């Protein structure tokens, strides 16, 4: 097992291909780039797509039912911008 980093863009929905069975650990900003870290088996050839949704603090969450699982929160611009990440994957 290894921990891999998956950079995000600050947009509504992200689709990330990960090795089958990846365990998402956290989401944080690294040098102003939001990233997801996941425990993965790098030998696993099978991939699965994971969908993530980013909501800004104070913004509407119209599709919250489609992304019910909270992953974490990250901040950009020295904390001036705060975002919250959810996924549809358990």
Computed over every residue of the chain, the mean pLDDT equals 95
Q: What is the domain range of residue 40?
A: 2-87
Looking up tokens 């994957």 gives: 89
This prediction's pTM? 0.91
Structure confidence at residue 17 (pLDDT)? 96
Query: Can you tell me the distance from the alpha carbon of 24 to that of 63, in angstroms, rounded to the nearest whole number?
Result: 21
Q: Look at residue 90 and tell me whether its pLDDT is greater than 90.
A: no
24-45 pLDDT, tens digit per residue, is 999 999 999 999 999 999 999 9
Structural domains in the chain (count): 1
What are the DSSP E strand ranges found in 1-90? 2-7, 13-19, 23-30, 33-40, 47-56, 69-76, 81-87
Looking up tokens 């900003």 gives: 29
Residue 27 tokens, joined: 């989401």
- Strand, coil or helix: what is 43? coil
């Amino acid at each position: 097992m290894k921990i891999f980093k998956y950079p995000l863009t600050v947009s509504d929905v992200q689709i990330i291909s990960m090795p089958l069975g990846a365990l998402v650990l956290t989401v944080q900003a690294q040098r102003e780039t939001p990233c997801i870290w996941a425990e993965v088996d790098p030998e696993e050839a099978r991939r699965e797509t994971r969908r993530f949704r980013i909501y800004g603090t104070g913004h509407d969450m119209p599709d919250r039912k489609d992304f019910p699982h909270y992953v974490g929160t990250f901040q950009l611009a020295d904390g001036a911008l705060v975002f919250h990440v959810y996924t549809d994957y358990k």
